[in-house]
A = this chain, B = another copy of it.
Amino acid sequence: MIKTSNYHHGDLREKILQTSFELLDNEGIEAVGIRKIARTLDVAHSAPANHFKNKQALLTALATESFRYLVSKIEKDISKETGNLRLSIHSFSNTILKFGLKYPNRYKLLWRREYADDQDDELGAAMDDIYAALTAILCEHAKNKQVDVESQAIALWSLVHGYVLLRLDENLKEGNDEVTGIKRQVAIIDVLIDGIIE
């Protein structure tokens, strides 16, 4: 009986999540493995099973936590903008892009239903919140009634989502608009806004 110290961490669940996020951030989604985590925490390979039914449950927890963080960040940042449509939209897209660039693998995990459990209610709710935040801005301010507000919301969401993913997968590099000199990610949102406003 050499080691008794590792019995009952008390906070093994938290430590598993922490280690998972480190693996996710540093080595990618595929690198998040039950046994690898257990090894890192110097714990039996089957210990995590007490806290997460299986790998999918663990990934779902990672996705849910990431989603909640992103949603709260979006809402916080948007609340700083005082009712200006253009600024609100830029705030929304900027928050998402910043999150994606800081935590590429978390952002990717968010949207890959094959890893996380799509039946999970908390996960679904967090997703709806993002869309709701966006729709709220547009409903309040949008002046272009030639198309559905929902179409405008979906267009914006798609644009931001697509740009972030293209950046994360390194299909696009950072850059500036040659004409205006502003950052590319701002320029493309402006193109869309020009189609929304007035």
Question: Smallest CB–CB gap between A161 and chain B, Å?
Answer: 4
Decide if A155 touches B111 in the complex (CB within 8 Å): no
Q: A154: which B residues are within 8 A, CB to CB?
A: 163, 166, 172, 184, 188
Decide if A191 touches B111 in the complex (CB within 8 Å): no
Q: Which of B111, B170, B188 contacts A151 (CB 8 A)?
A: B188
Judge if A5 is at the interface, Cβ distance under 8 Å.
no
Decide if B196 touches A147 in the complex (CB within 8 Å): no
The answer for the CA separation of A171 and B134 in the assembled complex, in Å, is: 14
Decide if B162 touches A111 in the complex (CB within 8 Å): no
Decide if B177 touches A151 in the complex (CB within 8 Å): yes
Decide if A111 touches B179 in the complex (CB within 8 Å): no
Decide if B161 touches A165 in the complex (CB within 8 Å): yes
Q: Given A170-B113, A187-B147, verify A157-B162 contact (CB < 8 Å).
A: yes
Between A112, A145, A159, A170, the greatest number of chain B beta carbons within 10 A of the residue's beta carbon is seen for A159
B-facing residues in A145-197 (Cβ within 8 Å): 145-148, 150-152, 154-155, 157-163, 165-166, 169-172, 175, 177-180, 184, 187-188, 190-196
Decide if B158 touches A111 in the complex (CB within 8 Å): no
The answer for the CA separation of A139 and B21 in the assembled complex, in Å, is: 44
Between A30, A162, A169, A175, the greatest number of chain B beta carbons within 10 A of the residue's beta carbon is seen for A162
